[in-house]
Structure 1
Amino acid sequence: MSFREELRRVLPPDASPTLAEYQLVAEFQQEVSWRQEHERYCQWYSEVAERNREELLKLRGDINLFGWFSRR
């Protein structure tokens, strides 16, 4: 069922088209907000992942002091 059909079913028959348009705009704005928030999260995650990869490379290049002391 499309959004407009569902809206016609929910709204009273004498409801103005402006109410339906308002609902459509509100849902569109919510969708845009969710997508922007998701994009910000993806950007943050990408930055954190890159920093973690850099730290891992640095750690792999460090001297393994634990290995020196454990000598198993």
Structure 2
Amino acid sequence: MSKNLPYIIPATPPEIDETFGAHQTTRQFYQEVQTRSEFDLYCQWYRTTAKQNRQQLEKMRGELNILQWFRRSTRI
């Protein structure tokens, strides 16, 4: 029975293998492009958010701290 197996299930022609290989390579390429563009968008968002946070921190440092008036210093 095992001698007849190659005749029952023929091997795929090399042209089909090349087509699937090209398709897989193309798909991997576009997936890599999409991943990199999403990462770039994330980096832009992160830089923008960090810049806003730094600006807010500087603004808060410049404001009066009312709670310090009510807190007593325990330093000796």
TM-score (norm 1): 0.78
After superposing on structure 2, the runs of 4+ consecutive aligned residues of structure 1 that deviate more than 6 Å are none
Structure number with higher helix proportion: 1
Matched pairs, number: 61
1:68 Cα deviation (Å)?
Answer: 0.8
CA RMSD of superposed structures (Å): 1.5
Q: Which runs of 5+ in 2 are unaligned?
A: 1-10
1:13 Cα deviation (Å)?
Answer: 5.8
Which digits, 9 at most, give the CA deviation of each residue in 1:26-72, with x for residues without a partner?
00000000000000000000000000000000000000111111122
TM-score (norm 2): 0.74
Q: Which has the higher contact order (CA 8 A, sep 6+)?
A: 1
Match of 1:21 in 2: 22
Larger Rg: 1 or 2? 2
CA distance in 1, matches of 2:12, 2:69: 81
Q: Which runs of 5+ in 1 are unaligned?
A: 1-11
